[in-house]
């Protein structure tokens, strides 16, 4: 489980990755811009000790690191502007794995979101008889420069140290906008997913490449804990902070979770490697391999997830498990890799729900009592939004199906359908296919979109953008491939492979598409205006 309570900013890109309709910002904040300040907590022995930590620069997240946190628990609370203290928030130890352990680096807790503050109180409880903590040693060269040799306690310290890490994320751009999703989401379709580039991941901070399994066999639900009092524009900064803490402070190769979902229904891509692939995370000790981890941003010990958060987690898991042909309402047999973080010894086989909770396998209360209570609802929602085996049948009888069939069906240029018919802007309808989409409305009829023209049209905001709906299919000309829209055309240059947008006789060359591939029609946010 990872402890952070934050929410997500949707920044708007001209080219969409995973269906995000947001403008690209090369000047946006990055995880590398996050400030991490470490202050040692000395004199902590057995039992509970409380320390107050402050700094002039406001911070919003707090974590603990140490040489050994076995048997150690921690609570944190922030000083309010009026001088009073806020509520206490629990901090759990994060769960690494062999792939993330970089040379026996420090242990740490989840970073806890406490809201913007300049001072926190930290209550640390350690086992009886625990050695008193000291300040972390400096480097060997610095420690030995006056002695002429490196002290043995520098290279191999037997004392223990614990430090508070104060995390200050960069502010989101002032023009960042977010609107809740409004469109209907059908089975087999993912919710809108905010990609790593969109939330500001600095890929230079990662080490090595992702580790892949053969296939996802189950999913696990966490909560981040900390404050639930965050705004939608806070979330991207929180995710950046978690990423920076995991990589720069703990020395891990990447953020632990495969995805995160905030209380506003915003979904963040987590660990790099592809959200549709079986990427090894670092979220559930003993059960990271072939298990896809999603964390609900917030503390759900007493307060349940919001309705949109609950629905989004269910839809996300229904879609993701459907890619590996798993029944969200079924069970999975998993083998424990063991570790100090799990109640199941290494090599033991455990039968678990296909969607289980962190507490089902670990020494933790994650995802909180209220979060655990909604797991049946998440499974039910996921089962309803699992990939439908009858997508073709669901399209039968409509104009979109007739157009697709006339183009050759699954053997034609569009390939097989990947979604049932869905509602687009106004009275328009659409369905997605392996290689494109078909859009229909009463005035335009059913029109296909494929390739670079589809990508360019999607980058402008789909049917809500400046061009409106397509009014024709592709028109093949000697030097160009042209497609007509309600308010202009898109022209594909056969020689340069560039796409030109033409509106009112004015041509504009479109930027190249992302390397990640063509966009996917997903839940939409606010209308995108392109000038």
Whether 351 maps to a domain, the answer reads yes
Q: Residue 531 falls within a domain, yes or no?
A: no
Nearest Cα residue to 180 out of 114, 265, 79: 265
- Are 420 and 356 part of one and the same domain? no
Q: What pLDDT is stored for residue 137 in this prediction? A: 67
348 and 423 inside one domain? no
Query: What tokens were used for 514?
Result: 């992302």
Q: Is the pLDDT of residue 102 over 90?
A: no
The residue ranking higher by pLDDT, 64 or 187, is 64
Residue 527 in any domain: the answer is no
The mean pLDDT value of the chain amounts to: 82
The confidence band for 521, taking pLDDT boundaries of 50, 70 and 90, is very low
Residue 41 lies in a domain: yes
CATH code: domain of residue 153: 2.60.120
Based on the fold, state whether residues 437 and 362 are members of the same structural domain. Answer: no
Same domain, 228 and 122: no
Q: How many CB atoms lie within 10 A of CB 412?
A: 16
**156 and 205 within one domain:** no
Residues near 92 by Cβ (< 8 Å), separated by ≥ 6? 1, 3, 109, 110, 225, 364, 366
Query: If you average pLDDT over each of 253-267, 388-402, 504-518, which comes out highest?
Result: 253-267
> For residue 474, is pLDDT > 60?
yes
Q: By mean pLDDT, which of 53-62, 136-145, 188-197 is the weakest?
A: 136-145
Confidence (pLDDT) at 181: 54
Which one of 132, 152, 168 terminates a domain? 168
Owner of token pair 């806020």: 86
Indicate the helix (H) or strand (E) that contains 166. strand 162-168
pLDDT of amino acid 396: 85
**pLDDT exceeds 80 at position 405:** yes
Q: What is the pLDDT of residue 95?
A: 67
Whether the pLDDT of residue 22 is over 50: the answer is no
- Of 363, 384, 405, the residue at which a domain comes to its end is 384
Query: Does a cis peptide bond (omega within 30 degrees of 0) precede residue 367?
Result: yes
- Count CB atoms within 10 A of the CB of residue 470: 28
Question: 218 or 110: which carries more pLDDT confidence?
Answer: 218
Same domain, 380 and 397: no
Q: How far apart are CA 213 and CA 190, in angstroms?
A: 21
Indicate if 255 and 206 belong to the same structural domain. Answer: yes
Each residue's pLDDT tens digit, 164-177: 999 998 876 544 45
| Residue range of the domain that includes 321 | 193-384
Q: Which residues contact 233 (CB under 8 A, 6 or more apart)?
A: 7, 9, 172, 176, 178
Query: pLDDT per residue over 477-499, tens digit each?
Result: 999 999 999 999 999 999 999 99
Per-residue model confidence (pLDDT) at position 180 = 57
Does 363 share its domain with 409? no
Residues 155 and 269 reside in one and the same domain: no
Say yes or no: 144 and 211 in one domain.
no
Give pTM, 2 decimals: 0.66
Range from 309-323, 414-428, 480-494 carrying the lowest mean pLDDT: 414-428
Q: Does residue 299 sit in the same domain as residue 371?
A: yes
The reported pLDDT for the residue numbered 147 is: 42
CA dihedral 172, 177, 183, 188 (to 10 degrees): -20
Distance, CA of 310 to CA of 326 (rounded, Å): 20
Does 361 share its domain with 423?
A: no
Look at residue 282 and tell me whether its pLDDT is greater than 80. Answer: yes
Q: What pLDDT does 293 receive?
A: 96
Identify the CATH number of the domain in which residue 343 sits: 3.40.80.10
The per-residue pLDDT for range 240-273, each reduced to its tens digit, is 998 999 888 888 889 999 999 999 999 999 999 9
The number of distinct structural domains making up the chain is 3
């Amino acid at each position: 489980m990872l402890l952070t309570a934050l929410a997500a900013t949707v920044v708007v890109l001209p080219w969409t990755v995973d269906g995000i309709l947001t403008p690209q910002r090369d000047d946006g904040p990055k995880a590398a811009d996050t400030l991490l300040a470490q202050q040692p907590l000395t004199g902590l022995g057995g039992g509970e000790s409380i320390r107050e930590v402050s700094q002039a620069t406001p911070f919003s997240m707090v974590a603990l690191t140490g040489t050994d946190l076995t048997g150690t628990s921690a609570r944190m609370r922030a000083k309010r502007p009026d001088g009073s203290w806020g509520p206490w928030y629990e901090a759990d130890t994060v769960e690494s794995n062999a792939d993330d352990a970089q040379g026996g680096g420090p242990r740490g807790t989840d970073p806890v979101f406490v809201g913007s503050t300049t001072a926190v109180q930290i209550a640390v409880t350690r086992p009886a008889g625990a050695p008193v903590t000291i300040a972390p040693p400096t480097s060997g060269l610095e420690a030995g420069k006056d002695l002429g040799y490196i002290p043995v306690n520098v290279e191999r310290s037997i004392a223990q140290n614990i430090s508070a890490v104060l995390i200050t994320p960069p502010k989101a751009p002032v023009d960042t906008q977010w609107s809740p999703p409004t469109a209907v989401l059908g089975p087999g379709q993912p919710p809108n997913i905010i990609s790593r580039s969109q939330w500001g991941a600095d890929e230079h901070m990662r080490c090595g490449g992702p580790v892949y399994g053969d296939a996802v066999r189950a999913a696990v639900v966490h909560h981040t804990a900390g404050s639930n009092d965050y705004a939608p524009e806070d979330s991207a900064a929180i995710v950046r902070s978690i990423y920076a803490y995991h990589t720069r402070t703990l020395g891990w190769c990447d953020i632990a979770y495969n995805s995160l979902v905030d209380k506003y229904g915003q979904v963040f891509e987590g660990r790099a490697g592809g959200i549709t692939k079986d990427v090894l995370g670092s979220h559930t000790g003993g059960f990271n391999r072939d298990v896809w981890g999603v964390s609900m941003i917030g503390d759900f010990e007493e307060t349940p997830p919001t309705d949109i958060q609950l629905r989004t987690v269910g839809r996300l898991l229904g879609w993701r498990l459907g890619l590996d042909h798993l029944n969200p309402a079924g069970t999975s047999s998993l083998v424990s890799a063991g570790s100090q973080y799990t109640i199941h010894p290494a090599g033991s086989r455990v039968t678990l729900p296909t969607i289980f909770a962190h507490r089902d396998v670990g020494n933790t209360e994650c995802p909180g009592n209220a979060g655990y209570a909604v797991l049946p609802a998440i499974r039910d929602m996921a089962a309803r939004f699992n990939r439908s085996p009858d997508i073709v049948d669901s399209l039968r009888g409509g104009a979109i199906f007739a157009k697709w069939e006339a183009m050759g069906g699954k053997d034609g240029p569009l390939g097989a359908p990947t979604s049932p018919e869905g509602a687009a802007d106004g009275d328009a309808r659409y369905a997605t296919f392996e290689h494109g989409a078909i859009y229909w409305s009463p005035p335009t009829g059913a029109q296909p979109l494929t390739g670079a023209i589809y990508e360019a049209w999607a980058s402008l905001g789909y049917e809500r953008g400046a061009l409106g709906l397509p009014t024709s299919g592709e028109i093949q000309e000697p030097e160009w491939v042209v497609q007509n829209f309600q308010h202009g055309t898109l022209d594909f240059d056969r020689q340069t492979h560039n796409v030109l947008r033409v509106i009112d006789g004015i041509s504009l060359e479109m930027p190249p598409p992302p390397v990640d591939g063509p966009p996917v029609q997903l839940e939409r946010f606010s209308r995108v205006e392109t000038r």
